[in-house]
Amino acid sequence: MQVHPMRWILAIVTMLLVVGCGENGSPDSADVNWLEAPAVLSFYLANTDLIRSGRDKEGCPVVIEGIRKGLDDPGNFETQNLHGVCSTAGMEFGGDVRCKDKRLQVKCR
């Protein structure tokens, strides 16, 4: 059986490109997890005005900016709860939040 070196080289180069270009290939994204924080979201959605208007049904998108503004205040009770989501999982707070559909997610490292 004859082995073609060009096939091996092509296979190795292709594998390196796939690993290097994938999202999980970057060192930053490998250590980042997004965890859901339903209890924190419930607190923000419990706003009386949101409930009366029915906008609480929209979930995370309706309150995400308020949550992000609260991240600047580490003494804020809800910011501490965001940190708690990560620490319960044995990680540190990654400094960011996002909405995934109607759910709140916390970036943890």
Nearest CA among 108, 106, 85 for reference residue 97: 106
Q: Which residues pair with 36 in a beta bridge?
A: 105
Q: Which residues pair with 104 in a beta bridge?
A: 99
pLDDT of the chain, 109 residues: tens digit per residue:
555 555 544 455 444 443 344 444 444 556 889 999 999 999 999 999 999 999 999 999 999 999 999 888 877 888 889 999 999 999 999 999 999 999 999 999 9
